[in-house]
Amino acid sequence: MSRKASVPTQKTKFLRVKCPACGNEQTIFSSATTKVKCLACNHLLAETGASKIKLKTKVLKVFG
Ligand SMILES: [Zn+2]
């Protein structure tokens, strides 16, 4: 049984962001591969670029 070691090629961070539309705070993945929307109001918070995420809002805190 072969098992791939999960070694990330780039550092993955968690970003705490605040929705500019409704003020909801949520944590998103810096390496998200899909668009990230606010869980409360569906406002677009980030979309994916060529290699990293493009934030549409301010980052409150970075984890990891
Ligand atoms: Zn929102």
Q: Encode pLDDT of 10-52 as tens digits.
A: 678 899 999 999 999 999 988 878 899 999 999 999 998 887 8
All structural domains of the chain: 14-63 (2.20.25.100)
Bind-site residues for Zn(2+):
19, 22, 38, 41
**Confidence check: pLDDT of 55 > 80:** yes
- Give the per-residue pLDDT at 36: 94
Q: How far is the CA of 1 from the centre of ligand 1 (A)?
A: 45
Spatial separation of the C-alpha atoms in residues 7 and 63, rounded to whole Å: 18
Query: What's the rounded Cα separation, in Å, for the pair 14 and 7?
Result: 17
Which one, of 39, 36, 38, 33, lies nearest residue 52 by Cα?
A: 33
Q: What is the pLDDT of residue 14?
A: 92
